[in-house]
């Protein structure tokens, strides 16, 4: 032995039905703090095939979903990492997985709404005005309780 330890590797996998409760709890943690919009558990069931998770110690420690708006545009949605597991690169791994999926199905743009702009900028996203994302604004934002006072920053990455 050389006295060094290898970092723990976590595996990303598609979400399963038995993950819904863990995804819900993780998203609710951030929703309670005003960082994510609340999502009912039923919404997670409806969009379960969009989610990837990272699991450790019998719980979901990270999740993210890819939402498709048009044949060009997808969104990184519900990205969350358990506070005990932050700064391990799990968020980067999840976004990279979503980007790979987006490219694989032919999307040319990937966006997110975020409070953590520098995280996305490190992954090649750039800040854009919301009016550059009419699919998002008129497809989802219009029904959001924060629509008239949205404080999230839009970021966009071209995948071509």
- The model's pTM is 0.85
Rounded distance between C-alpha atoms, residue 128 and residue 138, angstroms: 16
Residue 146: per-residue pLDDT? 55
Which CATH fold topology does 12-158 show? Aminopeptidase (3.40.630)
69 Cβ contact partners less than 8 Å away, ≥ 6 residues apart: 75, 135, 136, 139
Cα dist from 136 to 3, 93, 99, whole Å: 50, 24, 18
DSSP state of 22: H
Cβ-proximal residues to 110 (8 Å cutoff; 6+ apart), any chain: 73, 74, 75, 76, 98, 99, 102, 125, 156, 157, 159
In sequence order, the β-bridge partners of residue 56 are: 59
The domains of the chain are located at 12-158
Q: How does pLDDT run across 4-57, given as a tens digit for each residue?
A: 444 557 899 999 999 999 999 999 999 999 888 788 999 999 999 999 999 998
Whether the CB-CB separation of 79 and 64 falls below 8 Å is answered with yes
What pLDDT, in 10s, does the model give residues 80-118?
Answer: 999 999 999 999 999 999 999 999 999 999 999 888 899
Which residue, 159, 6, 30, 19, is CA-closest to 91? 30
pLDDT greater at residue 81 or residue 134: 81
């Amino acid at each position: 032995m050389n006295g060094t330890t290898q970092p723990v590797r976590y595996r990303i996998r598609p979400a399963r039905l038995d993950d819904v409760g863990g995804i819900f709890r993780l998203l609710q943690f951030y929703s309670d703090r005003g960082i994510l919009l609340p999502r009912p558990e039923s919404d997670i069931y409806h969009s379960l095939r969009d989610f990837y998770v990272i699991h450790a110690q019998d719980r979901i420690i990270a999740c993210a979903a890819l939402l498709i708006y048009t044949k060009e545009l997808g969104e990184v949605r519900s990205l969350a990492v358990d506070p005990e597991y932050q700064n391990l690169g799990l968020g980067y791994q999840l976004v990279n997985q979503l980007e790979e999926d987006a490219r694989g199905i032919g999307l040319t743009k990937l966006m997110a709404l975020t409070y953590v702009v520098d995280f996305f900028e490190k992954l090649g996203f750039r800040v854009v005005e919301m009016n550059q994302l009419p699919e998002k604004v008129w497809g989802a934002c219009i029904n959001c309780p924060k629509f008239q006072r949205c404080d999230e920053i839009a970021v966009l990455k071209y995948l071509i």
